[in-house]
Amino acid sequence: MNKKKGILTLVLTAIVLVGFALVAAIGVGRTNTGAAKNIKLGLDLAGGVSITYEAVEENPSSEDMKDTVYKLQKRAEGYSTEAQVYQQGDRRISIEIPGVQNADEVLDELGSPGTLMFVDTTGNTVLEGTDVADAQAGTQTDQQTGASQNVVQLELTKEGAEKFAKATEENVGKQIAIIFDDEVLSSPRVNEKIADGQAVITGMESFEEADELASFIRVGALSLELKEIRSQVVGAQLGTKAISTSLLAGAIGLAVVCIFMIIVYLLPGFVAALALLIYTLMTLLIINAFDITLTLPGIAGVILAIGMAVDANVIIIARIKEELAEDRGVKASVKMGFSKALPAIIDGNVTTLIVALILLFRGSGSVRGFAQTLAIGIILSMFTALVISHLILNALIALGLDKEKFFGRQKERKVIDFAGKKAIFFTISIALIVVGIGTMIFKNVKNGHPLNYSLDFLGGTSTTITLKEDMSLEEIDEQIVPVVEEISNDVNTQIQKVADSKEVIIKTIELDQEQREQLGDALVEKFDVDRSLIQTESISSTVSSEMRSDAVVAVIIGIICMLIYIWFRFTDIRFALSAVLALAHDVLIVIGFYAVLNISVGSTFIACLLTIVGYSINATIVVFDRVRENLRSSKSDLAAVVNKSITQTLTRSIYTSFTTFITVAILYVLGVSSIREFAAPLMAGIVCGAWSSVCIAGPLWLVMRTKFARKNK
């Protein structure tokens, strides 16, 4: 790059950076303009609409109630993946949808108790609403004309797929009507037999028409007829303080990381800091563009992606300094540094991206929110590290900043004998895992649960009170919440304030009768609450068994795909097995951390474990990339190869872990109690991920390579 192009590159970078900053600032600071103004926040951060229905039937069965909750959950997810639906008492169902401020927008559709049927031309019902697993509006390109058309994409259940295969085979060239409450919604023509349970309905004039059809199909017939009891706008579950502290923690953490990079890595660190700022601003705008609902688990995805963005830059800079140590000159070292860093960056990010994409398509609820932000972050982090950083660094070099003193030379390190200490490392890890498992067994025997499950998993008690004097969310957080937490022994108490009223909804773990009376007494005595207006009801879990099973299935599929990818890239299944075992090691230790410290297991638990999975596998891949590279020059002494590889990547492991840890630690220090319970396990996972990538993964591969050597080795 010549000097003229270098100046142009820096000017364009400055324009882009300032432009992104202005657009984001305008969007956040004002309500009517700006590209970032429409970022949706979840119920935990911003609140939304709460609607309560009651079954018309006097004594509905538990099966019908559960089925109706599940179907309403699917319908509500059409508005937001972060919608929550749970049973309240014996006959009531509450639905909470974030980002919606007008209950009338959703009331009619959510409560429609109609019957859905797919009927052929002879009047036979070939499918019922319960045979449909999902229906989503979308667009696709017509293969014949090339034009874009609005469609509804159907996904059928296993039983439904079998029914539909037979029906479509018998009705090729004929129409199958979709009927809701005796009204024909659509009559698509069957073009061919559909055997895979995936169907596409065409012919809609607008996306809105396709979306409306999808919403009716998505749920099918509700098992119960419902009537609306109340609808109201509610405030954030975590309170407004959670948003402000999260933003402040993110800003401080980002500033600390940028300063750290500049101090440690000089000019390349400055370039990495610029790329990181661009990455952060682009992430905010992309989240807005894709209409993603941002919740606490979503923030976890962003934090992990920031860590990976830093990691990519650290890998590149370390490679440049190594090339400088070989006296190759600055320009040649930069070129070689980016080239040699590329495999580790791609492999580390792709393995994490595989998990994110599978969670996106197989997960549900907050799991999908986490996957969306993580996938976006991974793609942007690779782009900013490999493209933006490269362009800016070359531009600065072209302007004369091409002296070695601006980069630093990698000092020769004494190789540490990690392989020789593997017995110690394995013993420590096994001991930690045993302590965790032992604690869970003890808790399960004593309490009936291996972990301290919150109301998100077990359900709990909803207490509705009417205050005599109106209080802000901040005042409720500071005055009422501590009283509730002391009586309920639940630091994850959820508070929602009903808009334009003095009504407050308090959600805790299940309270027995004595605790309910204690809470009522305390509220009457300290806040002059009218006892006659206090209402308490049991509520079901918001993390459904389906959501949990979806997450487990998605993770299993993701791990299998990672195994295959790592096996393919490293041409040795022992790399893949070692990486997955190191990953399992981290997950088990963090779950044990939850058990030993009795940390509440709520909806963020799944996101926390998924964050650790992504972080752990990325860190391990970086080490294995060096092992793979060093094997090409030395295959005789495998222990020496492992020791050299871990030592070469040790600085990267420490610095990346530090920058990610400090971001989460600031969130822990500044956050409210529920956010601290979210940040603490993440910090443990970061430390554990660094430990396993440095002390476990490499030695574990060495054991497998020596004990299970190939016959031709």
Q: Which of 76-90, 126-140, 331-345 has the highest mean pLDDT?
A: 331-345
Closest listed residue to residue 659, CA positions, set 376, 249, 254: 254
- Of the listed ranges 198-202, 280-284, 681-685, the least confidently predicted one is 280-284
pLDDT of residue 34: 42
What CATH number does the domain located at 48-112+226-234 have?
3.30.70.3400
DSSP 82: T
- Of the listed ranges 138-147, 192-201, 388-397, 485-494, the least confidently predicted one is 138-147
Residue 613 makes CB contacts below 8 A (sequence gap 6+) with 355, 555, 558, 583, 586, 587
pLDDT in tens, 306-339: 766 788 888 888 888 888 888 888 889 889 989 9
- Of the listed ranges 116-120, 347-351, 673-677, the least confidently predicted one is 673-677
d(C-alpha 298, C-alpha 683), whole Å: 17
* Helix, strand or coil, per DSSP, at residue 103: coil
- Of the listed ranges 217-226, 504-513, 679-688, the least confidently predicted one is 217-226
How is domain 419-437+544-707 classified at the CATH fold level? Answer: Multidrug efflux transporter AcrB transmembrane fold (1.20.1640)
The answer to whether 467 touches 533, Cβ cutoff 8 Å, is: no
* Helix, strand or coil, per DSSP, at residue 461: strand
pLDDT band of residue 32 (cuts 50, 70, 90) is very low
Average pLDDT of 535-551? Answer: 73
Average pLDDT of 139-157? Answer: 80
pLDDT band of residue 111 (cuts 50, 70, 90) is low
d(C-alpha 537, C-alpha 706), whole Å: 61
pLDDT at 292 over 80: no
Percentage of the chain lying above the pLDDT 70 cut? 83
Average pLDDT of 439-454? Answer: 88
Average pLDDT of 166-175? Answer: 89
Which has more confidence, 251 or 235?
A: 251
pLDDT of residue 458: 80
pLDDT of residue 432: 95
pLDDT band of residue 154 (cuts 50, 70, 90) is confident
Quickly list H helices, 528-602: 545-570, 573-596
d(C-alpha 340, C-alpha 319), whole Å: 7
93 forms beta bridges with 53, 87
The answer to whether 468 touches 203, Cβ cutoff 8 Å, is: no
The answer to whether 294 touches 287, Cβ cutoff 8 Å, is: yes
Which has more confidence, 55 or 288?
A: 55
pLDDT at 623 over 50: yes
What would the two tokens of residue 545 be?
């068994």
pLDDT band of residue 388 (cuts 50, 70, 90) is confident
pLDDT at 113 over 60: no
pLDDT at 591 over 80: yes
pLDDT of residue 426: 95
The mean pLDDT of the chain is 81
pLDDT at 460 over 80: yes
How is domain 460-539 classified at the CATH fold level? Answer: Alpha-Beta Plaits (3.30.70)
pTM of the model: 0.71
Average pLDDT of 632-657? Answer: 86
Which has more confidence, 578 or 235?
A: 578
How is domain 116-219 classified at the CATH fold level? Answer: Gyrase A; domain 2 (3.30.1360)
pLDDT of residue 78: 67
pLDDT of residue 642: 92
pLDDT at 694 over 80: yes
pLDDT at 648 over 70: yes
pLDDT at 24 over 80: no
Whether 238-406 shares its CATH topology with 419-437+544-707 is answered yes
pLDDT of residue 28: 44
pLDDT of residue 674: 66
- Of the listed ranges 150-164, 466-480, 574-588, 679-693, the least confidently predicted one is 466-480
* Helix, strand or coil, per DSSP, at residue 140: strand
Tell whether domain 238-406 is in CATH 3.30.360.10: no
pLDDT at 696 over 90: yes
pLDDT of residue 530: 84
pLDDT of residue 434: 96
pLDDT of residue 692: 92
The answer to whether 39 touches 190, Cβ cutoff 8 Å, is: no
pLDDT at 443 over 70: yes
Domain boundaries, the chain: 48-112+226-234, 116-219, 238-406, 419-437+544-707, 460-539
Q: Is 239 left (phi over 0), alpha (psi -120 to 50) or beta?
A: left
pLDDT at 646 over 90: yes
Angle at 428 between CA 427 and CA 433, to 5 degrees: 95
Distances (CA, A) of 334 to 4, 104, 176, 338: 20, 59, 63, 6
What would the two tokens of residue 420 be?
């020789």
pLDDT of residue 610: 76
Q: Which of 71-85, 238-252, 486-500, 637-651 has the highest mean pLDDT?
A: 637-651
- Of the listed ranges 32-46, 170-184, 209-223, the least confidently predicted one is 32-46
**In terms of residues, how long is the chain?**
713
pLDDT at 33 over 50: no
pLDDT at 39 over 60: yes
